[in-house]
């Protein structure tokens, strides 16, 4: 009888121990199942933010000089080493992505056909020349069409030519520049211009101002080249022909857009 009671007590103790183990295991599973599920979402969010900032950095222009200054400041705070980094002035550049995705203007081959038809219809622009040069289409207008002798002010005929040209330019998205040229003959004792560069720039500015007055309101680059390109064109022609061609103002259409 005693043995039976002892056996029952042992079995009852084993049962209680097993019950405790079962409850502890169940509690552990419940605890594991109630671990914060937001942690995975938080990790995903951090990963997306990191990718976003890496993308922003890849599109930005890093300022190397500012980075050097920051590095020098940290170095000084840690080691006491003093370095002076001078400011560097550099022109702003387009980021690689901005340059790659810059919009293009009207196809130059198509634009050349349109401009050729315009020149054929216009008496005022009849003496102009149109030709392709790489990724640029160039409309060359001789000075005798635009200016009186020795003047940078547009003649009446020149104003008419520029007005007719502005009507065609307003519908284009191509980047456009005005470039003045001159022959290599030096300017002697001129009260207005010190050299051919001044004269070529003044004439280019006159054409640009006339385009603005005629209603052209898109970005416009104006430059003077003097005789800087004289050795590059009409090499097979005689000097008189080359000199006459050198006295001109070019309207340059770029394949890129004006944005």
How is the chain split into domains, by residue range? Answer: 40-101, 108-257
**Is residue 223 classed as helix, strand or coil in its secondary structure?**
strand
If pLDDT is split at 50, 70 and 90, which confidence band does 139 have?
Answer: very high
Q: Could you give the CA distance from residue 241 to residue 142 in angstroms, rounded to a whole number? A: 12
What is the mean predicted confidence (pLDDT) over 218-224? Answer: 88
| pLDDT value at residue 24 | 64
* 101-110, 127-136, 243-252: least confidently modelled range: 101-110
Q: Taking 70 as the threshold, does the pLDDT of residue 239 lie above it? A: yes
| pLDDT value at residue 52 | 78
| pLDDT value at residue 125 | 86
Choose which CATH entry (1.20.140.10, 3.30.2130.10, 3.50.50.60, 3.30.1330.60) describes domain 108-257. 3.30.1330.60
What is the mean predicted confidence (pLDDT) over 40-60? Answer: 76
Q: Taking 60 as the threshold, does the pLDDT of residue 173 lie above it? A: yes
Q: Could you give the CA distance from residue 141 to residue 128 in angstroms, rounded to a whole number? A: 5
Question: What residue ranges in the chain does DSSP mark as E strands?
Answer: 129-133, 136-142, 174-181, 220-226, 248-257
What is the mean predicted confidence (pLDDT) over 198-225? Answer: 89
Ranges 14-18, 28-32, 180-184, most confident: 180-184
Angle at 138 between CA 250 and CA 108, to 5 degrees: 150
| pLDDT value at residue 210 | 92
Burial class (CB in 10 A: 0-12, 13-18, 19+), 228: middle
Q: Taking 70 as the threshold, does the pLDDT of residue 102 lie above it? A: no
Supply the mean pLDDT for the chain. Answer: 73
**Is residue 126 classed as helix, strand or coil in its secondary structure?**
coil
């Amino acid at each position: 009888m005693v043995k039976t009671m002892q056996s029952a007590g042992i079995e009852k103790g084993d049962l209680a121990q097993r019950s405790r183990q079962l409850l502890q295991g169940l509690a552990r599973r419940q605890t594991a199942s109630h671990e914060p599920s937001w942690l995975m979402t938080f990790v995903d969010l951090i990963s997306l933010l990191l990718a976003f900032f890496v993308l922003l950095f890849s599109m930005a222009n890093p300022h190397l000089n500012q980075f050097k200054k920051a590095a020098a400041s940290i170095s000084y705070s840690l080691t006491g080493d003093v370095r002076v980094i001078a400011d560097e002035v550099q022109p702003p550049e387009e980021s690689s992505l901005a340059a790659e995705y810059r919009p293009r203007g009207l196809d130059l081959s198509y634009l050349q056909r349109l401009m050729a038809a315009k020149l054929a219809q216009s008496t005022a622009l009849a003496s102009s020349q149109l030709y392709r040069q790489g990724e640029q289409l160039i409309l060359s207008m001789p000075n005798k069409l635009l200016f009186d002798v020795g003047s940078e002010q547009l003649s009446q005929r020149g104003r008419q030519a520029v007005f007719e040209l502005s009507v065609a330019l307003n519908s284009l998205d191509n980047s456009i520049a005005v470039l003045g040229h001159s022959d290599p003959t030096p300017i002697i004792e001129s009260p207005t211009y010190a050299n051919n560069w001044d004269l070529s720039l003044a004439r280019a500015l006159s054409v640009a101002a006339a385009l603005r007055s005629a209603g052209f309101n898109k970005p416009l680059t104006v430059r003077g080249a003097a005789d800087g390109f004289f050795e590059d064109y009409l090499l097979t022609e005689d000097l008189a022909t080359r000199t006459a061609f050198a006295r001109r103002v070019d309207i340059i259409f770029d394949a890129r857009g004006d944005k």
